Structure 1
């Protein structure tokens, strides 16, 4: 969703000076929390390291020492901000929550960095949120009209305001009251004077897991964050569930009626780390399955299979194994390219892909190659990579996409362009192939994707996953979008 109260920045120039936004989907956040551990903030910092892939713009930690809340929120990577002892020592206490951020609502400024904290009548409340609230702007306008003073442009702040205004006596009841007012996709960790709270949206669109370390409970976006600290995976938080962790142990309650879960299918295609297990499914295994399905659906007369690193690697492995073609690293990624020194000039944008991806001429020269990538959004990066392969001597370049065509934008926390800027929404297959300059182009079908997920097919009456980017079927209300559309129509009518 657009920033609350502001315009959307130009994706190419502001978000990605290297010009790679076009073929890269971004998710905004990872969350982590622990209760009752003597080194709580240090454990949270380690957990955030494992969740760095979910957001690289900013990170924050809030801890509670039994008397006072402590907060450190910084722009930049976790390792650049939470690796020194002095910072961790300032975050005193046996309970802490943390957040890694990639903004889809609210600009990249310090006031929007989470966790957000507020003093309520019943005590302090810190909140960290992964996802996107599709009625946040409407609620914010209502709150401001009633005299609320906002400090950020993040949709997460709406949760704090709703909890503060609730008339319920207990803070957990206030928190649940707030959850029942919001819509969209979210996984939330919150910290109070006495409790660590976790909540997952009614459809379970965004992931949240429960872990245990030395008898202390942990909440995290992915299981890879448990692995890095040697914690034990306990279970997934259920859709529509709130868990409350305190000195008394763990308590569970529902804030929404029980219904079939619909996790975001892009967690398996792209967002989650390959070594994570999401809702009982190995992400790495699913991505290899996707590659195998893609090979069966869209084979090519070729000599080698190469991935577009890093997210295309498992699918390319599956494709190679299914076809019997050799798997080669035809593109080498430079993981140490920074952004701060790059000026967003047109010249640098043209060189951007070469700074991050270099052709391995020895592997591709004279070869017919199958390139496997996880998705195709605008096509800008794909154009440059196809050109790079041809310049390295590839005889033919066959592009294979390990997901169906993205025809609709996301409003649940994935940073996608407007529909008219999505390549698959404006071109047919031949038009897209010609646009990126490949010899052939093919996408995984929706039935193929569901087969790779271990399903017989897509249940049209009640889909097993949130897959709106491919189908246009949005599983929740889109209140803010609807209101914005109505206002546009009203303005057009006035203009006529």
Structure 2
């Protein structure tokens, strides 16, 4: 209707997208609710869809839906999920379409029995394997790469399920932290390079065997009152059954390449991943950034929420006061009624608003974790300057992102990454900052030092990938796995 407000879609957050989160619980009378709480803590790792599968020794149930965990799993829905073991998944799609059929856990009936799987990561050799399985008669229910693993298990010539799982995992390449479930067992595994985190915890039970839990991040254990035990090691398959917890190696001798961007942005600050607290790493990134590229200023202001922890470290090291000069609206959806008079940079203004009395007349250091395309950073710099800031200096707590990721991060193509095509000086002019500086790669590694073997994948900053072969024609960065 003429003159009526128009519903428009605003650009989504330009940050690199979280991959997915997985969780598993064995031996708990209300396993579904425990996994629900775990997924609630892991919601930041994917907001597209979620699912929970449960088993009671005889039956295996599975409920999935599109949307947020709390919206899908009401009390009535959780009541339908019976059993003392469960696995769950919260998804951001990077391989496979954004549709309910690709929501996880994926459940498959095979000659090895009923199996459910939840996967965080991205397989880089799925094209050849899928074609081989289809020639062998495999019928795929989804377009997700996660189903490849289940189909490999179903078609394995190994006699036992454990051997079939180990055999299957040894055939796939790329990033995978997975939890699997049969009617009476839970499995957890991590790829040989340890790209993605996966931890094991324990809930003590004075009246019987303890409850064993797994999660992508340890922040999930806090809601369950579970104690962190250890990380699942790269190349390890952990099995939990009535006989207890056992483990075996399905691969060894591969250099570790844990994703350093988990420390920079993806993981929650209250999580411990790769045997290192994320909060500690991020504060040290800010401290190191201040050592490398300090500038005279009046205030350190984070771009919320991603720049907050590094900004705390920067302020502590530099002695410049920390202030929340930008306020984030956490209740913004994807569509909005457009105002009658067009507002410049409408989407960013809906999400962020400057505190004018803090910024006016001040020299501001803006701290953020990354610059991807540069357009949002420019809008934020303009916003701070329009609020009266005398100078605006942008500082980034990681090196320039110059290459796409193929291991479970939804990264734009190289032509869309501003740092792949422009120098730091050119980016500085583009975002209209008085100065721009990134944390050096050595500085980032130093900030994350002391973790799990101190061996990280930094391909997004160097273009040097840890896997020998990546078919970039088949695996597009914008649609690469979880």
> Is TM > 0.5 for Structure 1 vs Structure 2?
yes
1:319 aligned counterpart, secondary structure: helix
* Secondary structure of 1:315 counterpart: helix
- The Cα RMSD (Å) is 2.0
Shift of 1:172: 1.7
Tell me which residue corresponds to 1:18: 10
Relative to structure 1, the CA distance from residue 170 to residue 93 in structure 2 (aligned partners, 3 Å threshold; closer, same or farther) is same
Cα separation, partners in 2 of 1:376 and 1:484, compared to 1, 3 Å: closer
Structure 1: 5+ residue stretches without partners: 1-15, 457-461, 486-496
Q: Partner residue of 1:389?
A: 384
Aligned match of 1:71 in 43, 56, 62?
62
Residues 1:32 and 2:17 are matched in the alignment: no
Instruction: Call closer, same or farther: CA 1:257–1:482 in 2, change over 3 Å.
Output: farther
Rounded to whole Å, the distance in 1 between the matches of 2:434 and 2:109 is: 60
1:168, CA displacement in angstroms?
A: 1.2
1:211 is matched with: 201
Match of 1:191 in 2: 181
Give, in whole Å, the separation in 1 of the partners of 2:337 and 2:181.
38
Note closer, same or farther for the CA distance 1:445–1:254 as it changes in structure 2 (3 Å cut).
same
Shift of 1:484: 7.4
Asked whether the 8 Å contact 1:137–1:480 carries over to 2, the reply is no
Deviation at 1:471, TM superposition (A): 1.2
Structure 1 segment 407-486 matched on structure 2, within 5 A: 407-454=402-449, 464-481=455-472
The 2-side partners of 1:484 and 1:313 are apart by 33
Q: Secondary structure at the match of 2:420?
A: helix
**1:296 maps to which of 287, 291, 295:** 291
Specify the alignment match of 1:138 in structure 2.
128
CA gap 1:342/1:258 in 2 versus in 1, 3 angstroms:
farther
Greater Cα shift, 118-127 or 332-341: 332-341
> Which structure: greater helix fraction?
1
Q: What secondary structure, in the 3-state scheme, does the structure 2 residue paired with 1:128 have?
A: strand
Aligned counterparts of 1:149 and 1:357: Cα–Cα separation in 2? 47
**Counterpart Cα distance in 2 of 1:166 and 1:412:** 25
Task: Supply the distance in 2 between the matched residues of 1:43 and 1:484 (Cα, whole angstroms).
Answer: 35
Is 2:41 the partner of 1:46? no
Alignment partner of 1:227 out of 215, 222, 229? 222
- In 1, distance between residues paired with 2:134 and 2:358? 60
Query: Is contact 1:308-1:372 (8 Å) kept?
Result: yes
Aligned-partner Cα distance in 2 for 1:384–1:101: 29
Label 1:229 to 1:136 Cα distance change in 2 as closer, same or farther (>3 A).
Answer: same
Q: How much does 1:454 deviate?
A: 2.7
TM-score when normalising by structure 2: 0.92
Tell me the secondary structure at the aligned position of residue 62 of structure 1. strand
Give, in whole Å, the separation in 1 of the partners of 2:226 and 2:379.
42
Pair 1:89-2:83 in alignment? no
Seen in structure 2, the aligned counterparts of structure 1 residues 335 and 67 have a Cα distance that, compared at 3 Å, is: same
How far off is 1:171 after superposition?
1.5
Give the one of 97, 100, 106 matched to 1:107: 97
Residue number in structure 1 paired with 2:374: 379
Deviation string for 1:301-353 (max 9, x for gaps)? 2110000011110100110111110100011011111225579xxx6893111
Which whole-Å CA distance do the structure 1 matches of 2:176 and 2:445 have between them?
Answer: 23
- Structure 2 unaligned segments of length 5 or more: list them: 1-7, 205-209, 477-482
Rounded Cα–Cα distance in structure 2 between residues aligned with 1:187 and 1:245:
16
SS at match of 1:187: strand
What is the TM-score with the length of structure 1 in the denominator? 0.90
- Looking at structure 2, the residues matched to 382 and 484 of structure 1 have their Cα atoms a distance apart, in angstroms, of 28
Give the structure 2 partner of residue 12 of structure 1. none
Q: Which residue of 1 aligns with 2:3?
A: none
Choose from 306, 318, 330 the match for 1:335.
Answer: 330
Q: Please state whether the residue corresponding to 2:97 is helix, strand or coil.
A: coil
**Which aligned runs of 4 or more in structure 1 are off by greater than 6 angstroms?**
482-485
Are 2:339 and 1:358 aligned?
no
Distance 2:449 2:169 in 1: 32
1:246-286: per-residue Cα shift (whole Å, max 9, x none)? Answer: 01100000000144432110111001100001122110011
The reply to whether residue 179 of structure 1 matches residue 174 of structure 2 is no
- Distance in 2 of aligned mates of 1:111 and 1:101: 12
Distance in structure 1 (CA, Å) of the matches to 2:337 and 2:421? 31
For residues 96 and 340 of structure 1, the distance between their equivalents in structure 2, rounded to whole angstroms, comes to 35
1:157 aligns with 2:152: no
Contact map agreement 1:138 1:479 (CA 8 A) in 2: no
Distance, in Å, in 2 between the alignment partners of 1:443 and 1:285 is 19
Equivalent residue, structure 2, for 1:281: 276
What is the alpha-carbon distance in structure 1 between the residues aligned to residue 233 and residue 321 of structure 2?
41
Which is further off, 327-336 or 167-176? 167-176
Deviations 1:423-480 (A, max 9, x none): 1000001110111111110000011111212369xxxxx9821110011111113443
Identify if the C-alpha distance between structure 1 residues 449 and 361 changes in structure 2 by more than 3 Å, giving closer, same or farther.
same
Note the C-alpha offset of 1:167.
Answer: 1.2
Whole-Å Cα distance in 1 between the matches of residues 97 and 343 of structure 2? 24
Instruction: Quote the Cα distance in structure 2 between the aligned partners of 1:183 and 1:482.
Output: 17
Q: Is the 8 A contact 1:361 1:393 kept in 2?
A: yes
Secondary structure (helix, strand or coil) at the match of 1:354 reads: helix
Contact 2:217 2:273 in 1 (8 A): yes
Q: 1:483 to 1:356 in 2, by over 3 A?
A: closer
Q: Distance in 2 between matches of 1:281 and 1:325?
A: 27
